[in-house]
Amino acid sequence: MIHLVTLNPALDLDLWLKDPVQGKIGEVLHSDVEAGGKALNVARFLKKSGVAWTTWLGTGGGNHPTHVLFQRLLEREGLAVRFLSSQVPVRLNIVTDQGGQRKKYNHPGFELDLTDFGKLDGAVKNGDLLVLTGRLPQGMNPGLYGSWIKAFNRRNVWTVVDTSDKALAEALKAKPWFFKVNLQELSGALGGKIISLAALRILKHSLFNRFGIIHGAVTDGANGAVVWNAEETLWVKYSGKPVKGFVVGAGDGFLAGYLRGVHQNKKLRDRAVLACATATAVAQTGITGFKPQMVDSLVKKIRTTKF
């Protein structure tokens, strides 16, 4: 079973805006609200791809107005979710579109009590995949994911992490089975700017191998991704025309595609190609427009080279 965890879910408010003209008030041309969170995005892609999963969210299971709206949105999509707390509100993020320029603004979230963590702990079994995704809510111990990784590793659970900042740094020290981040997130965790995927050649040998991290993926938008395990390292990239600008959810698509490959017992090269094709499909259609049939056609346009 694949267990998808996001402790900091959100209500994503999407606004299409028209700037004020000659001192007048601007317009909201269109608006929408969706249940957001990395685990939910990955679940959406896995569901459409026919892969079984369970989703766990840090909050949203109570009667707070944000919880009620969040639950109704999930019901509308047919997404089953388990909640680890029902005390704090669901945070609100904003995505704006002004003249085709998209920007996202994230709320840091609220500290959780995790009163129902025991339910997750009891549900995860030997050989399961535990996927820890997203930023930790504001005020929480940045070593939380790292402590979970250590504990579940001892139980022969395949731990996966996709987070950022100090939480990522601490998680990497705990040696997850696999991690996936983008270049910017990795730079933040390591305390220095990594200018390109090519720079990972040095990092892979000097840093990751020293810490015993032998399985990971680092993405860089249209430049593709570097994916490796103990046997080989590959650079995967879409050979067609890239999508320009900020794309919400493409990184989650990459992770979903990789998990799908793991679920289907594919080799590293096939997992990487599937991940890159899924990310490309999301970049082209958006999260809600994603269709697994597109992945099948895009696979033929993914190029792999040894790194």
Which of 38-52, 166-180, 285-299 is the least confident region?
Answer: 285-299
* Predicted local distance difference test score (pLDDT) of residue 4: 98
- Higher pLDDT among residues 93 and 101, named by residue: 93
The distance of Cα 169 from the centroid of its chain, to the nearest Å, equals 16
Taking the CB of residue 271, how many other CB atoms lie within 10 A of it?
A: 25
Residue-wise pLDDT for 151-181, tens only, equals 999 999 999 999 999 999 999 999 999 999 9
Which of 20-34, 139-153, 199-213, 240-254 is the least confident region?
Answer: 199-213
**Count of structural domains within the chain:** 1
Report d(CA 1, CA 130) in Å as an integer. 9
145: enclosing H helix or E strand: helix 144-153
- Assign residue 80 the CATH number of its domain: 3.40.1190.20
Q: What is the mean pLDDT of residues 33-49?
A: 94
Provide the 8-state DSSP code for 278. H
Report d(CA 210, CA 217) in Å as an integer. 17
Chain mean pLDDT for the chain? 91
Which of 53-67, 79-93, 122-136, 229-243 is the least confident region?
Answer: 229-243
Overall pTM surpassing 0.75 (yes/no): yes
Banded model confidence at residue 236, pLDDT cuts 50, 70, 90: very high
Q: What is the mean pLDDT of residues 277-299?
A: 90
Reply yes or no on whether the pLDDT at 256 is more than 80.
yes
Reply yes or no on whether the pLDDT at 288 is more than 90.
no
Residue span of the structural domain in which 153 resides: 2-306
Banded model confidence at residue 210, pLDDT cuts 50, 70, 90: low
Residue-wise pLDDT for 18-34, tens only, equals 888 877 888 888 999 99
Cβ atoms of 182 and 218 within 8 Å: the answer is yes
Q: Which percentage of the chain shows pLDDT scores above 70?
A: 96
Q: What is the mean pLDDT of residues 220-246?
A: 86
Q: What is the mean pLDDT of residues 38-49?
A: 95
Report d(CA 281, CA 81) in Å as an integer. 25
Q: Amino acid identity, residue 189?
A: A
* Predicted local distance difference test score (pLDDT) of residue 240: 84
Report d(CA 4, CA 81) in Å as an integer. 10
Reply yes or no on whether the pLDDT at 206 is more than 90.
no
